Amino acid sequence: MSFFDENRPLSLATRLLGLILGGGLTLLSIIFGFIQGVPVPAIILYALTTITLFFFGWKFVLPHFLIATEKKDEAEEGPGPFRLILIKYYPALIVLGLILIAFFILGAGFDGFLSGWTVASLVILLTIIVATRTIGPVFETNRSAFIGIMVLIGLFTVGAFNIEGFSSSSNIRSMLLFAAFLGMACVGQTLVALLGGLDLSIPFIIGASNVGMLYLISLGVPPWLAFCCVLVIGGLLGVMNGLLSFRLQGQALIVTLGTGFAISGSVQIITSIGTAYGGNVFGVVPGWLSNLAAMNGRTFGIPIPPTIVIWFLTTLILVVGMRMTVYGRYLYALGVNRISAKRVMISELKYWVMAYGLSGFFSALTGALLLGWSGGGFIGVGEQYLFLTLAAVVVGGTSLMGGQGGYGFTVIGVLVLQVLTSFLVGIGLDYEWQQFIFGLLIVPMVALYARTPHIRTQI
């Protein structure tokens, strides 16, 4: 978007300064690498990464600040700079003050609360808040992504300092695996939200495909065929959702909930016919499916579960597709303004049904992969995704009114939720406290970037 497209040339002096600074930083990292005895290929890799990231930042991020300061210079008159800051940031300052007060009360109340790492965590937290309030506005278009990444980095750092094994490769792998499941379930929710709808049938389709696939396998259908069948049926159910809810867009929430109930009920009836165990299906999950989704799965010999790779590819296709292809642009066009999109001959029905179809497809895929992960069919496997997909979409910064956001944002939302869960588990909180904190964090996070304008500005 405009963040990368706009050509904002830097002056020669700035460019030279950047070159020197970047070179110096890279040199420093190489020297430190040799002192610490890191293997040579790793040093080269790190050096390359450092210099690339530095130049990237210098070229694309810096101009925003330079221009922002220029703009500020124009508005010289009025209250003094200190007072200006006070007026501009006073809600943030109040929050800051509250956090500090709470921290000192906690510090005074509990012995051992004021340890080094808690103070460090506080400093990181404060940095995030300050950074989001001061630097955040510079990123006009991708503010939610910026804030999300800041929170992600902050959480990860705090977690890595405070919890043993938080940044170990196995923990990161498991976080990514769960994020992949959630992320896959969120694909549909994001697309549908971009059009201004909601899809609550996702958890039911996940459960239904989970049980249905195992049922097909137990009937003797070859597993690959069962896998394909489940995906196709999932897609068709999604299309049905889209067709049913097209005329009832205001009530899409309820239509999809109804179809969800019907789908999960009928799949369970089908699978229970002829067995004595109502609702339970027994079967053997094939090895390749387990490998696809299990923690110790391997992609062509590399110890990364293929699910993560699949999620990564999906993300890549979706993010690029939404930006570059006609389909993606039309989807945004419909989300922003339905009427003007119709005037330029964009078929509303087609895109609405397509979004729901994809939602059904990806829900079925998630269900099938979850079968590989757990090894047993269970209709309630998707239950937690009912509101979690919504939370991830919202935290990522996709507006539920449609037209704003994208799958890239949702990925950030998913990662934030996943790292937060992992962090809360790490510091020993139970499920109920996790949920509680989740709930309390959503509003402030969304409030940082998605406040609706006051009614008097909308007239």
Kindly identify the residues of this chain, within the stretch 328-387, that bind another protein according to CB under 8 A.
386-387
Decide if residue 221 touches another protein (CB under 8 A).
no
Quote the DSSP letter at residue 294. S
**How far, in Å, are 94, 197, 273 from residue 116 at the CA level?**
25, 47, 61
The residue among 2 and 458 lying less far from another protein, judged by its C-beta, is 458
The closest alpha carbon to 234, from 203, 257, 255, belongs to 203
**In the complex, least distance from residue 186 CB atom to another protein, rounded to whole angstroms:** 14
For another protein, the closer of residues 71 and 451 by Cβ is: 451
Q: State which residue, 161 or 387, has the beta carbon closest to another protein.
A: 387
Report, in Å, the least distance between residue 234 CB and another protein.
17
CA angle (186 as vertex; 334, 248 as ends), nearest 5: 45
Amino acid at 44: I
Q: Is 38 in the site for another protein (CB under 8 A)?
A: no
CB of 340 to another protein, least distance (A): 20
Q: Is 299 helix (H, G, I), strand (E, B) or coil?
A: strand
State both tokens at 450: 């998605």
| 32-69 core/surface letters (b: 16 or more CB in 10 A; e: else) | ebeeeeeeeeebeebbeebbeebeeebeeeebbeeeee
Measured from the CB of residue 213, what is the shortest distance to another protein in angstroms? 18
Encoding tokens for residue 243? 């067709």
Q: In this complex, which beta carbon is closest to another protein, that of residue 59 or of residue 338?
A: 338
* 217 Cα distance to chain centroid: 33
Least Å from the CB of residue 237 to another protein: 12
Site mask, another protein, residues 408-437, x = CB under 8 A?
Answer: -----------------------xxxxxxx
| Residue 454 interacting with another protein (CB under 8 A) | yes
As measured in angstroms, the least distance from the Cβ of 204 to another protein is 9
Question: Which residue in the set 1, 85, 108, 401 belongs to the binding site for another protein (CB under 8 A)?
Answer: 401
Interaction between residue 89 and another protein (CB under 8 A): no
What would you report as the CA-atom Rg of the chain, rounded to the nearest whole angstrom?
Answer: 25
In the bound state with another protein, the residue whose beta carbon lies nearer, of 242 and 305, is 242
Question: Alpha helix (H) ranges present in 344-430?
Answer: 348-374, 385-396, 407-426
x/- binding map, residues 247-286, to another protein, per CB under 8 A?
A: xx-xx-xxx-xxxxxxxxxx-xx--xx--xxxx-------
Summarize as ranges the residues that interact with another protein (CB under 8 A).
244, 247-248, 250-251, 253-255, 257-266, 268-269, 272-273, 276-279, 386-387, 390-391, 394, 400-401, 431-440, 442-443, 446-447, 450-456, 458-459
